[in-house]
Amino acid sequence: MKKSFVWAAVSLSALIFSGCTTVESTQVFNRMGLGTVNEKAVCQTFVEIPGYFLFGLPIVTGSPAGDGEWSLFRYNLTATNAVHLLTKEAKSRRAARVVNVQVSTTETFILPFLSKRTIQASGTGVRSRDAAVDQARQEYDDQP
Q: What is the pLDDT of residue 39?
A: 85
| Per-residue pLDDT tens over the stretch 56-79 | 999 999 999 888 888 889 999 999
The model carries a pTM of 0.77
Three-class SS state of 44: strand
82-128 pLDDT per residue, tens: 999 999 999 999 898 999 999 999 999 988 999 999 999 999 999 88
For residue 95, report the phi and psi dihedrals to the nearest 5 degrees: -85, 145
Separation between Cα atoms, residue 132 and residue 114, nearest integer Å: 48
Query: How far is C-alpha 58 from the geometric centre of its chain's CA atoms?
Result: 19
Q: Tell me the pLDDT band of 8, cut-offs 50, 70 and 90.
A: low
